[in-house]
Amino acid sequence: MKPFRSILSLMLLGAVLLPAAPVSADTAMIVNTGTDETTTNGLCSLREAIHNANNNFATYPDCRAGFVYTIDTITFAGDYIITLHRPTEFAPATLNITSSIIINGNGSAGSIIQITRCNPVTLPGGCTPAREGVFFVSSIGNLTLNGLTVRFGNFSDAYAGSGIDNNGTLTIMKSRIAGNRGRTGGGISNEGTLIVTNSTITGNEAASVDSHGGGIYNYSWSGTVTITNSTISDNRGNFGGGIYNSGGMMTVTNSTISGNVAYSRGGGIYNNDKLIITNSTVSGNSAPYYLDGGGLFNSGTLHYSNTLIANSPTGGECSNFGTISTNLNNLVEDNFCFPALSGDPNLGPLASNGGPTQTQALLTGSPAIDAGSDANCPATDQRGVARPRGAHCDIGAYEVEFRPLISGNVGVAGAVLSYTDGTPKTVTADNNGNYSISVPVGWSGTVKPSKNGQKFTPISQTYSNVQTDQTNQNYTAQPATGGGDTTGVFRPSNGLLYLKNKNESGFADIAINYGTGGDYPVVGDWNGDGTDTIGIYRNGTFYLRNSNTIGFADLVFSFGMPGDQPIAGDWNNDGIDTIGVFRNGTFYLRNSNDAGVPEISFGLGNPGDVGIAGDWDGDGLDTTGVFRPSNGVIFLTNSNSTGFADIALNYGLPGDQPVMGDWNNDGKDTIGVYREGTFYLRNSNTNGFAEIIFGLGNPGDMPIAGNWDGLP
């Protein structure tokens, strides 16, 4: 039994219902005072308007009479903070709803209805709170609140909601339920029908040892709750800090449950009946102990899809002691409740990211981006942003608002397109050769297609500061008639270069003079056109050329110091080779061909080793290795970072010179050595005999390798 409910019932029995005066049905009652009064003074107060609407009569002539067969609309004329008072000594201050009423405020920031000026949750200055709720909706009542704040209800000694106690139908739109304290349902207690849309329920508390639902408590087996595009944050309670679903059906869609605390179980949500939660973010909620369900505690039936549960300080993310009937494309950080994905979702803080409620943004690199099930996604996210924006909709309440799409046809099924978005990434063209890449606004980079045995035109496409969708980014594909890397030699005595387009003995296809005696050769695709071209390193300065012809350097810049060994590779998978140096067991690499500080540095090997580079695993990213001339041992790594080698093998003899390339055009660079004018090449990074042997150059020459003819 709810104590104030019995008083209200007596009041209803004493009411005399009379026909309403004839008034236009589209005429709203206009509340034009912020004072809670029932006097005839030419001003229509909220309490007077509600009374007239309930009784279909102009009991208070300053407001029009209520309608018998239609919904009464009450509209605020301005911004008012209305503090409720008891109209008589024995009548409650709570606003009682027994008919169909819509109350339109001017926005939750300026239209406020409160039972007192004292927040019973925080008790600022030691104030004394009221001991009543703000609204009571009877079983025959139907209340819609639009653009309002309801706050500071305090009904902690009875089983009733302190902000709003609903037994009928309650709709909350673009409103805020805040700072209420009760025994059950600090913000809202429901045993009827509750609909919450584009609203915030925050800072409420269910405060007793048997309290339930700091934000919302649904406690009737016939009660239904629908929460859409809303935020439930920073509420507290013993069971269900944010929400407690004791009985009935609860549906949560496109909503954020954040920062709620349970003193026992279910920090964000405690479900004891049927919960359907879709594309929602449950983050930063807590409960005391392991398996108490910091994010969600389920002892009923859970249906969850495209939902993110993470960042619970205590209690774990999701605890299931009931049944999970639907489980589609969810991300739960600690991998409980059998999600499709786990790990850190890389969420931003609860903030104003657009739309009427606060949300938590998915930051760059979040695994929740493009990971949802499109069949289950709502048409928009919590803010109203259309879904999906990428290849698929995002998991959680937040859709990354705009990610330009680079799309087109690559000319062949199954081609892999490589690009970098924070980290190296790839997409695979479909059976018709179509592809789509989602990138952040302002993205710059290069997209490069590849497939064994195919040549693409153009070889790659480069983008700068992408702001809009890039459509029809097409390529043509044709079978490659050549391709792969071939060898050459540099003659340090005079700076002559001899390049061959086939790995076999014979005369050079290209013979040029570039550099001077004592220079160190370096080879790479400096401009991303698919052709490797020449360069030399001299006393800490690189001289790079974009064609294999005689002429002056196209790029000249300093990096490193005299005595360093030059090296080149595509360190960031952008389709362009850039330089680096190897010095006494440490690599220093740059992602651009210009002077500057190293962007990547790490240790590998020992002083006296020779630095090498290649794409050992075929992922499009060049990484390093070392060759030990004293014994012919090779150490290769698949990441440009300090650590143990991923591959260690013995190939060659003491005194050999290493050379690396993709000899069979399979997308992977493999080992080789040059010994006294002869190349010994192998098609796998394993111990074994050479598979390709041929002569080129003279003893004392230095080996080089590259794709001189531009064929993939």
Please report the pLDDT score of residue 404 as a whole number.
85
φ, ψ (nearest 5 deg) of residue 48:
-65, -40
Q: CATH for 405-479?
A: 2.60.40.1120
Can you give the pLDDT at residue 13?
29
Cα–Cα nearest to 560, from 612, 526, 520, 525? 520
Separation CA 642–CA 394 (nearest Å): 34
Q: Which fold has domain 486-706?
A: Tachylectin-2; Chain A (2.115.10)
CA distance linking residue 250 with residue 191, whole number of Å: 12
HEC readout, 654-686: CCCEECCECCCCCCCCECEEEECCEEEECCCCC
Q: What pLDDT score was predicted for residue 25?
A: 38
304 Cβ neighbours under 8 A, 6+ residues apart = 275, 276, 277, 278, 324, 326, 327, 328, 330, 337
Please give the DSSP secondary-structure letter assigned to residue 67: P
Among 275, 337, 271, smallest CA distance to 308 is for: 337
What does the H/E/C string look like for 349-410?
EEECCCCCCCEEEECCCCCCCCCCCHHHCCCECCCCCECCCCCCCCCCCCCCCCCCEEEEEC
Residues of the chain with pLDDT under 50: 1-25
pTM value is 0.60
Q: In the prediction, which pLDDT does 90 show?
A: 84
Return the DSSP state at 106. Answer: S
Q: Which helix (H) or strand (E) holds 308?
A: strand 308-310
Domain-by-domain residue ranges, the chain? 405-479, 486-706
pLDDT at position 187 is 96
Conformation bin of residue 126: beta by default, left when phi > 0, alpha when psi is -120 to 50: left
Q: What is the CA radius of gyration of the chain?
A: 36
Residue 157, pLDDT score:
63
Q: Name the β-bridge partners of 578.
A: 569
3-state secondary structure of 629: coil
Q: How far is it, in rounded angstroms, from Cα 191 to Cα 51?
A: 23
The sign of the CA dihedral 262, 264, 268, 273 is: negative
Query: How confident is the model at residue 618, as a pLDDT?
Result: 82
